[in-house]
Structure 1
Amino acid sequence: MNAVEIITLILKISIFLTALGYGLKTTAEDAFYLFRNPGLLLRSILAMNIIMPVVAILMALLFNLPPLVKVALLAISVSPLAPLFPKKTSKAGGRQGYALGLMLVASMFCILLIPVTLEILARIFKVPVEVNSKALIITALVSVIIPLISGIAAQHFAPAFADKISNPVSRIALILLIVSALPVLVKMFPAIVHLAGNGTALAIAGFVILGVCVGHFLGNTAEKDDRSVLALATASRHPAIAISVASANMPDHHLVPAAILLYLLINAIVTLPYLKWLQKNKPE
Structure 2
Amino acid sequence: MILLKLSIGVLIACVGAGTSFSELTYVWRRPGLLIRSLAAMYVLVPLVAFGLVLVMPIERGVKAAMLALAVSAGAPLLPKRLKTLHIEQYIFSLLITSSLVAIVAVPIWTVLLSAYFDVEVKLPVRTVVTDIAKTILLPILIGMGLRFVFPVSSERLSNRVMIAAWVVLAVTGIILLVVHREHLAGLTWQGVLSFVALMIVALFIGQILGGPDPDERTALAIACAMRHVGIALVVATEFVGVRTLVLVVAYFVTAFIVSSIYLKSRRR
CA distance in 1, matches of 2:72, 2:2: 21
The residue identity in structure 1 corresponding to 2:19 is T
Equivalent residue number for residue 16 of structure 1: 9
**Mapped contact 1:94–1:228 kept (Cα < 8 A):** no
* Selected match of 2:258 from 232, 252, 270: 270
Where do 5+ consecutive residues of structure 1 fail to align? Answer: 1-7
**Structure 2 unmatched runs, 5+:** none
Task: Tell me: CA distance 1:176–1:64, structure 2 relative to 1, closer, same or farther (3 Å).
Answer: closer
The residue type paired with residue 231 of structure 2 is I
Report the CA distance shift for 1:242/1:12 in structure 2 as closer, same or farther (over 3 A): closer
Deviation at 1:52, TM superposition (A): 1.0
1:255 counterpart = 2:228: no
Aligned to 1:97: 89
Look up the match of 1:188.
Answer: 180
Query: Which of 17, 23, 26 is equivalent to 1:30?
Result: 23
1:3 aligns with none
Distance 1:90 1:70 in 2: 34
1:279 match: 267
Cα distance in 1 for partners of 2:155, 2:257 equals: 33
Q: 1:274 to 1:135 in 2, by over 3 A?
A: same
Quickly say closer, same or farther: Cα 1:162–1:53, change in 2 above 3 A. same
TM-score if structure 1 supplies the norm length? 0.84
Question: C-alpha separation between the residues in 2 aligned to 1:273 and 1:25?
Answer: 25
CA shift in 2, pair 1:253/1:35, >3 Å: same
Say whether 1:242 aligns with 2:232: yes
Whether contact under 8 Å (1:107, 1:144) holds in the other structure is yes
Q: CA deviation at 1:273?
A: 4.2
Query: For the Cα contact (< 8 Å) 2:236–2:244, is it kept in 1?
Result: yes
CA distance change for structure 1 residues 21 and 122 in 2, over 3 Å: closer, same or farther? closer
Percent identity between the two aligned chains = 28
When residues 81 and 189 of structure 1 are mapped into structure 2, their CA distance, relative to the original with a 3 A threshold, is farther
Q: Which residue of the other structure, out of 201, 210, 229, is the alignment partner of 2:219?
A: 229
Are residues 1:146 and 2:134 paired? no
Name the CA distance, whole Å, in 1 between partners of 2:209 and 2:75. Answer: 21
Aligned with 1:199: secondary structure? helix
- 1:166-207 deviations in whole A, cap 9, x for unaligned? 234323423433453343232133422332x44222111100
Task: Verify the 8 A CA contact 1:81 1:107 in the aligned structure 2.
Answer: yes
Deviations 1:234-279 (A, max 9, x none): 111123421322442xx33431111102211331343344223202
Q: Is the 8 A contact 2:107 2:124 kept in 1?
A: no
Classify 1:38/1:173 alpha carbon distance in 2 versus 1 (closer, same or farther; 3 Å): same
Structure 1 residues 269 and 25, CA gap change in structure 2 (3 angstroms): closer
Residues 180, 82 of structure 1: alpha-carbon distance in 2 compared, 3 angstrom cutoff: farther
Residue type at the aligned position of 1:166: S
What SS does the aligned partner of 2:240 have?
coil
Once the 2 structures are TM-superposed, how far is the Cα of residue 10 of structure 1 from its aligned partner? Answer: 3.1
Cα gap change, 1:127 to 1:162, in 2 (>3 Å):
closer
- 1:90-111, CA deviations, whole angstroms, 9 ceiling, x for partnerless residues? 35x2622211221211111111
Q: Are the counterparts in 1 of residues 104 and 125 from structure 2 also a CA contact under 8 Å?
A: no
TM-aligned CA distance change 1:266 to 1:218, over 3 Å: same
Residues 259-268 or 40-49, more deviating: 259-268
Secondary structure of 1:76's partner?
helix
Contact 1:188 1:258 in 2 (8 A): yes
* Structure 1 residues 18-97: aligned runs within 5 Å: 18-81=11-74, 83-90=76-83, 93=85, 95-97=87-89
- TM-score w.r.t. length of structure 2: 0.88
More displaced stretch, 146-155 vs 12-21 = 146-155
